[in-house]
Amino acid sequence: MKPERKSIDEIELLEQMLLVRAYEEMIVESSAAGKVPGTCTSVGQEAAGVGVVSALTADDLILTNHRSAAHLLARGADPGRLLAEVMGRRDGYCQGRSGSLHISVRELGVVLTSTIVGGELSLVTGVALAQKMLGRPGIVACFFGDGAACEGIFHESLNLASVWDLPILYVCENNQWQAFVHRRETMKSDHIAEWAAPYGVDGATVDGNDVAAVRAATLAAAAHVRDSSRPFLLETYTYRSRGHFEPDDQAYVDPAEHTAWLARDPIEACRRRLLGNGRLTPETAAALQQRVQQRIAAALAFAEASPFPDISEMTRDVYA
């Protein structure tokens, strides 16, 4: 019996990317105004997160990292509760305890967000082993960046997943930058997917700025994991267009490289394609943008109206 997967149209994918972009841009503005703490954004790489998550089923689990907004929102997380969490409010998904860097949403299958580089890679094998031993449906998707791929835990995790035949879809969002260091300073090859072969694991690279291509590649990769009960490494080749952590002036970035990647913006590429093939009209595009902005305005109002946790709640859910 094949798992049920919600069908989705590319216009829906565009709207999801618009939502992610608007959500993060609002956080950037609020951070600059001193209203919320600084955070890591995924601006410029929305197609990678949205495309992958859209191809997963409700039974699949997710482990993600400090650039998690696209993964959470595409999974169906409420932007108001996400923002409340970032602002440390009681109505956030973790009652204001996690900020933006540690959010988990159990009801959506988001096991954790790890701010430790490669932290999710160290835990995904245990999660997948539990799935396998308990006979639970669903695979486990693990998101990480090219920086984490240069950590030893990446190789340990991939090796163990191969040895134990674990149902893991490794998703490397290769966004070219590892904090303030370009990936060319830390690795000789352009692509990380090829690193899977020595461990007997299949891999593939996809244009991470093409949301339709990412979704198609993920559907194929996820099917491979389900059918073989073996891991797979999918690399989404993309670009982080904002700095490592807000605020960041990106003085260390080559302006020519930055300009070239901005010309490949995933949202504009999707919008142009849909307008060009007649699937989208300028009026519909404007309506999408307006609907997204209304959702973000409502999310901000919800978060700002949410109270801060009482001091008496400080040790709730703390076990040691």
Residue 3 falls inside a structural domain: no
Residue 320 falls inside a structural domain: no
Decide: helix, strand or coil at residue 187.
coil
Residue 304 falls inside a structural domain: no
Domain span including residue 231? 10-298
Residue 309 falls inside a structural domain: no
Q: What is the phi/psi pair of residue 2, to 5°? A: -75, 145
Residue 4 falls inside a structural domain: no
Residue 44 falls inside a structural domain: yes
Measure the CA dihedral 170/173/174/177, to 10°: -130
Residue 306 falls inside a structural domain: no
Number of C-beta neighbours around residue 2 at 10 A:
8
Q: What is the pTM of this model?
A: 0.94
Instruction: Give the number of C-alpha atoms closer than 13 A to the C-alpha of residue 34, restricted to the C-beta side.
Output: 0
Residue 311 falls inside a structural domain: no
Q: pLDDT in tens for each of the 320 residues of the chain?
A: 566 666 689 999 999 999 999 999 999 988 888 888 878 889 999 999 999 999 999 999 999 999 999 999 999 999 999 999 999 999 999 998 888 888 999 999 999 999 888 899 999 999 999 999 999 999 999 999 999 999 999 999 999 999 999 999 999 999 988 889 998 898 888 899 999 999 999 999 999 999 999 999 999 999 999 999 999 999 999 999 988 888 888 899 999 999 999 999 999 999 999 999 999 999 999 999 999 999 999 999 999 999 999 888 888 877 77
Helix H or strand E segment including 182 = strand 181-182
Work out how many domains the chain is built from and give that number: 1
Which CATH number covers residue 87? 3.40.50.970
Q: Where are the alpha helices (DSSP H) in the chain?
A: 10-32, 46-54, 69-75, 79-86, 119-133, 146-149, 152-163, 211-228, 255-262, 266-276, 282-305
